[in-house]
Structure 1
Amino acid sequence: MPHDPGTVKLVGAGPGAADLLTLRAARAIEDAQALLYDALVCDEVVALAPAACVKIQTGKRAGRASMKQETINRLMLRLARRGLRVVRLKGGDPSVFGRVGEEQAFLNAHGVATEVVPGVTAASAAAAQFGFPLTHRGEARRLVFATATTRDGTLTDTGWAADREATLAFYMGRNQLPALAARLVAQGRSPDTPVMAVENAGRADARAMPGRLGDLGQALAAVGCEGPVVVVVGEAVAHAAAFSDLEVPATPVEARS
């Protein structure tokens, strides 16, 4: 189907592995004439774009230089107005802490149509990869996606922390997670609540760190993580096989390729 000039596709690349792309996402990348992709998108996914496609890495990785959001917005607009088939490729799902709302609003305000293509988000990838549910009858009736830090770098509001029937999935803020765990305990969540911290969820080099909420800071400090980390908190996490013999914070569990 022909792609109308002046349209930008905001596409979720999933958590990293190319075979977790949706068919719609893969087709959008293969058809792109201009690809603006985040640093966490793997080379295998970027390679799906045609050789003649203009490929621009925008950064967006914690602690490293990235394009300003305003620059990315203007670049998408300029490329779309040239009549190119533009794909803005984001890790995970664009609607989960992917600034898709900001980019949509900007492009639409300038007369450029947008289409969002969803992707597998990190919490879902972590749960599937390491064998635990995000919801579970009788244990986890609700699922909360939250960022660990706010826009100005402070800890996120966690007023819902004491809800024992909610699974909490925290994105970003890797260096703030020990402080976040302490806040959750202070607000009523048991320090014995099962926790699974997963680095590089969905990728072959993923690592899982099962433990208890009260020991989260100690576990992360002992291991040292450089990749993106999602932390899942709640009773349902204990269904992972990695929890079967857990008494103290465990050494990382490597994903099997």
Structure 2
Amino acid sequence: MTNVTVSKGESPLVFGQPHSGLFIPPEIESRLNEAGRAKLDTDWHVDRLYDGLIDDVTVVKAEFHRYVIDANRDPSGKSLYPGQNTTGLTPLVTFDDEPIWADAPTAEEIEARRKTYHAAYHNALSDEIERIKSLHGFAILYDCHSIRSHLPFLFEGRLPDLNIGDNNGATCAAEITNAVESVCRAQDQYSYVVNGRFRGGWTTRHYGKPDKNVHAIQMEIAQHCYLESETPPFAYSNDKAAALRIVLKNILEAAIDAAKRLY
């Protein structure tokens, strides 16, 4: 299996999908415990949720699971949220703070995975961002995520439905973020927040350079919005997803229109 799948388009938009992959090499999966093999912390069906929403969009998807290595973490291992609970470059626990390894990887093994998987994903993503920027003079990286809505280890209470992150305005022009927020504000089906618990992961922070005409924004979606249940088998709900896809399409179109007005 290829570690990264790239679907090339010519829209100004690039989708990053670092956490919807399910592949774990057998030699790594054999070292996970039962909790790890359940893959609870997958961004379940995010690729399906966004499929076909925008014509000619570029998609870069990590096919490997985040338990192999997390493609949305700083490759140095530095925490994205100092002082807050989170998981690392290669997670040792679930989002419920439950150990996932029967035989945890060594530092040397994590470094080997970084070179094989993490670097491959970001090499592909960087290439596609630069290609789209060369076509339009700018690019929008939209980082696609989802997560269970109740995770006391990570946050109190219930997560808002739509969590928009641009690292407090550092990774995306305000006009683009405001356009996304305006779509969220105009509907009443889903709650939302800007730069709440999730302000954007390493991908958003690394690539988002508005002064260089690359705008990055993360969307973290509470999974109850489009799954039948936030418990195994995490089945996709066609009815829930259909409603959410309308809002997401409006968000994406608004982001593109706002960027085009800037350039």
TM-score (norm 1): 0.30
Higher relative contact order (CA 8 A, sep 6+): 2
TM-score (norm 2): 0.29
